[in-house]
Chain A
Amino acid sequence: MSAQKQSLRAAINLTTTNVNVNWNAVYRQELPRVYNYFRYRLGDDALAEDLTSATFEKAWRAREKYKRDLAAFSTWLFAIARNLATDHWRTHRAQVSFDALEKIPAPDSPHDAFARQAEIAQLGALLQQLNEHERELIALKYGAELNNREIAKQLGMSESNVGTTLHRIVIKLRERWDSTIADE
């Protein structure tokens, strides 16, 4: 059983007659995953916060329906997140150019924190170069931390196709990443 599922299970208090869900625990479990999904998907921290809020507010209203199946709740949560991301991307794609590139600080900063910030910005810039489908796959894999089976379910693809496509994208990004590092 994955750590994530163990954690979700821990959020449920099962009794013989009832299922009590600690929704605060579910929130703490899911928040970083949803937030990072949006960051990988859209590359903007402030926007990620806005859409994360929208996702949880929408999901929270009907969460009781999922109290007996938190795995389904998680699936549903990311279905909402994906819809919001897709809507946003379609509406604003003209403006999402390569803002992240402009945020790349000078690489010669002596401070580790600054170096880390630069690395994040460079990764963000690389993600911006992916097409929408590729970015969605990366966001679900590394932002939401879904496994290939869960991603396949979300996207209506086969699990093997998810694995193959992700492998290809990662190889491509790795090459570009190495190239970026070499240029520095």
Chain B
Amino acid sequence: MDDEFLKNYQQAPRPEFARQLQDKLNGGTNMLKQKTWRHNVMRWSPALIAATLVLALALVIALPPARALAQDFLNLFRVKKFAALTIDPARMKQLDNLDLDTEKLLADDVEILQKPGEPTQAASVQEASERAGFTVAVPSAPSNAAPSQILVQGAGAFVLTADTQKLQELLEIAGIHDAQVPAQLNGAKITVRKPAAVVLTYKLQRAKLTLIQSPSPEVELPQGVELKQLGEIGLRVLGLSQADAHNFAQNVDWSSTFLIPIPANAAEVRQVNVNGAEGLMINASATAQNRRSPYAEGDTLILWANNGMVYALQGSGAATDLLELASSVQ
């Protein structure tokens, strides 16, 4: 069958069209991820802290390697303060484009000790306190408002066994060729414990508020695992240069600071004081392209830790009002 003449109708797509569509697809992915990031941050919960910690440590932690170390956990991470780490959106895009399925990648290395289960509703703050095992704090500012919903999320725990070779491969995939995962970390077991959490939702006239609270999650690391060393590698993955990562790592208290990576163009971040505790205010509406005061109205998240508890207050009203509400939580 002579069908060559039909093949002559084929034509390559215009390079300009091909490039624009590819940019659109990559940009769309990026936008989707940014939306996911924003959604996650805005829906932040202590559970997410643990999960994010694992992801953050995962890049770091999964790295670790093959020899079971002493099982007595001498290093303990507890959240005492939050700090923002501004990262280059281009680097985030690069990481996005890697299409790494971290969950799947680590599936063989994670042992679930306790499943948190699905969040369940509580009829009152008192019931939530009893079920969660701590006294639930409430904001006093919406004085007459009762929470429209109270959810209790059970505690969870898992152990991650570090795999140096896997982490080294991850680093290579991420384009980090000059960082070496410490071989002695292979087989190290990192235990993450996420205590129960309570989520209070308030529906006010002009805004919706969500307050999440939980005792600090804990990460137990075996003797010999240097958080600073792991943190430095994690910073490299996030795009910091070797020198910057080293300097930054030297100045962070890795045993108590929870780092939140934020793309430079996605939000404005500032440190705030919440009842004497150092907190972080993230205003997702104040982008680099639309730079406004962090006190402008928009989606705002305030994170702080106090007396062994971590709190996240998210709302869509004026940021100043939200800060006032956060300060009233007791």
Q: Do A and B bind each other?
A: yes
Within 8 Å CB of B32, what residues of A? 61
- Does residue B8 face the partner (Cβ distance < 8 Å to A)? yes
On whether A49 and B17 interact (CB within 8 A), knowing A167-B1, A170-B1, the answer reads yes
Residues in B47-83 with C-beta less than 8 Å from chain A: none
Q: Contact: B22 with A27, CB < 8 Å? A: yes
CA distance A56 to B28 in the complex (A): 11
State the CA gap A143–B9 with chains docked (Å).
8
Kindly identify, within residues 3 to 22 of chain B, every residue whose CB is under 8 Å from any CB belonging to chain A. 3, 5-14, 17-18, 21-22
Residue numbers in A under 8 Å from B173 (CB-CB): 20
Q: Which of A24, A32, A124, A142 interacts with B22 by CB under 8 Å? A: A24
Instruction: Give A125-172 interface residues, CB cut-off 8 Å to B.
Output: 127, 138, 142-143, 167, 170-171
B21/A39 in contact, CB under 8 A: no
Q: A27-B22, A119-B8, A177-B5 are in contact. Are A60 and B105 (CB under 8 A)?
A: no
Q: Is the interface of B mostly helix, strand, loop or mixed?
A: helix
| B100: chain A residues within 8 A (beta carbon) | 18, 20
**Of A21, A56, A142, A174, which one neighbours B9 at CB under 8 angstroms?**
A142
Query: At the interface, yes or no: B108 with Cβ under 8 Å from chain A?
Result: yes
Flag whether B112 is at the interface (Cβ < 8 A): no
Residues of B within 8 A of A127 (CB): 9
**B13's contact among A49, A67, A167, A177, by CB below 8 Å, is which?**
A49
Chain B 170-187 interface mask (CB, 8 Å, partner A; 1/0): 000100000000000000
Q: Which residues of B contact A27 (CB under 8 A)?
A: 22, 25
A42 beta carbon closer than 8 Å to chain B: no
Nearest CB to that of A35 among chain B residues?
Answer: B13
Contact string against B for A residues 25-40, beta-carbon threshold 8 Å, 1 for contact and 0 otherwise: 0010001100110011
Task: List chain A residues, Cβ under 8 A from B21.
Answer: 31, 52-53, 56
Nearest-CB residue, chain B, relative to A60: B25
- Indicate whether A17 sits within 8 Å of B108 (C-beta atoms), given known contacts A127-B9, A170-B3: yes
**Given A17-B105, A20-B98, A32-B13, do A138 and B6 touch, yes or no (CB 8 Å)?**
yes
Interface size class of B (residues with CB under 8 A): 35 or more
User: Are A18 and B105 in contact (CB-based, < 8 A)?
Assistant: yes
The answer to whether A123 touches B28 (Cβ under 8 A) is: no
Instruction: Say whether B22 contacts A36, CB under 8 Å.
Output: no
Given contacts A17-B105, A20-B100, A52-B21, contact A57 B28 (CB under 8 A): yes
A177 neighbours in B (Cβ, 8 Å): 5
In the complex, whether B114 has a CB less than 8 A from a CB of chain A is no
Contact of B12 among A18, A32, A52, A124 (CB under 8 A): A32
Min Cβ gap A73→B in Å is 13
The contact of A174 among B2, B7, B101, by CB within 8 Å, is B2
**In this assembly, does B97 line the interface, its C-beta being within 8 Å of a C-beta of chain A?**
yes
Q: Are B13 and A120 in contact (CB under 8 A)?
A: no
- Answer whether residue A15 sits at the interface, using C-beta atoms and an 8 A cutoff: yes
B residues with CB within 8 A of A: 1-3, 5-14, 17-18, 21-22, 24-26, 28-29, 32, 97-101, 104-105, 107-108, 166, 169, 173
